[in-house]
């Protein structure tokens, strides 16, 4: 059985794991907020996919850090889709942080988000195209949730 978490962090490790998200995780833990991140909570022998999805479902809040290469990760997109399903069905709070990306680029699939989705479409066969459509929906939905933007040391809403 997976423990209940206050916060589930969804992020692209190479983009922000050792900088912004790493610092956010440390601050949440210091404030005694029970936070799950796959980089910090997995134990030896855990089934990675199942453990992460159970932790996501057992969390009260998901913080999604959308960064330049977020959409290039199939795993991040699968997590995002699951997070938005939990938001709709379980009333889980979702807090997006747009880390050096414009929310309208996420919403309209422009820039690196459009490039990543085009790559996914090209690499999936037709029978898998439904998965790409779910990811597009998830990116559009999360960009429509009120969140925070962080660009080169500045916060804005």
Active-site hit among 41, 57, 68, 79:
79
Beta strands in the chain (DSSP E): 5-10, 35-36, 59-66, 93-99, 148-151, 154-156
Whether 42 has a pLDDT exceeding 80, the answer reads no
Q: How many CB atoms lie within 10 A of CB 145?
A: 14
Classify domain 5-152 at the CATH topology level: Rossmann fold (3.40.50)
pLDDT of residue 44: 43
What is the rounded radius of gyration, in angstroms, for the C-alpha atoms of the chain? 15
Instruction: Please confirm, yes or no, whether 90 is among the known catalytic residues.
Output: no
Instruction: Give CB contacts under 8 A, 24+ apart, made by 49-57.
Output: 51/2, 52/79, 53/82, 54/2, 55/2, 55/3, 55/5, 55/8, 56/8, 56/10, 56/82, 56/83, 56/86, 57/82, 57/86, 57/90
Side-chain half-sphere CA neighbours of 55 within 13 A: 25
Q: What would the pLDDT profile of 121-143 be if each residue is shown by its tens digit? A: 988 876 678 899 999 999 999 99
Q: What would the pLDDT profile of 59-74 be if each residue is shown by its tens digit? A: 999 999 999 999 999 9
Furthest C-alpha separation in the chain: 47
């Amino acid at each position: 059985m997976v423990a209940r978490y206050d916060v589930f962090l969804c992020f692209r490790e190479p983009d922000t794991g050792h900088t912004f998200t790493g610092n956010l995780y440390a601050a949440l833990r210091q404030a005694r907020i029970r936070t799950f991140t796959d980089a910090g909570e997995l134990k030896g022998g855990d089934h990675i996919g199942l453990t992460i999805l159970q932790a996501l479902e057992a969390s009260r809040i998901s913080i999604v850090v959308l960064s330049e290469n977020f959409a290039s990760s199939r795993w991040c997109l699968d997590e995002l889709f699951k997070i938005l399903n939990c938001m709709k069905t379980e009333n889980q709070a979702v807090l997006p942080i747009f880390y050096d990306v414009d929310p309208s680029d996420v919403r309209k699939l422009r820039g690196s988000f459009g490039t990543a989705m085009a790559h996914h479409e090209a690499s999936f066969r037709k029978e898998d195209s439904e998965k790409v459509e779910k990811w597009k929906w998830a990116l559009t939905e999360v960009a429509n949730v009120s969140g925070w933007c962080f660009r080169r040391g500045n916060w804005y809403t």
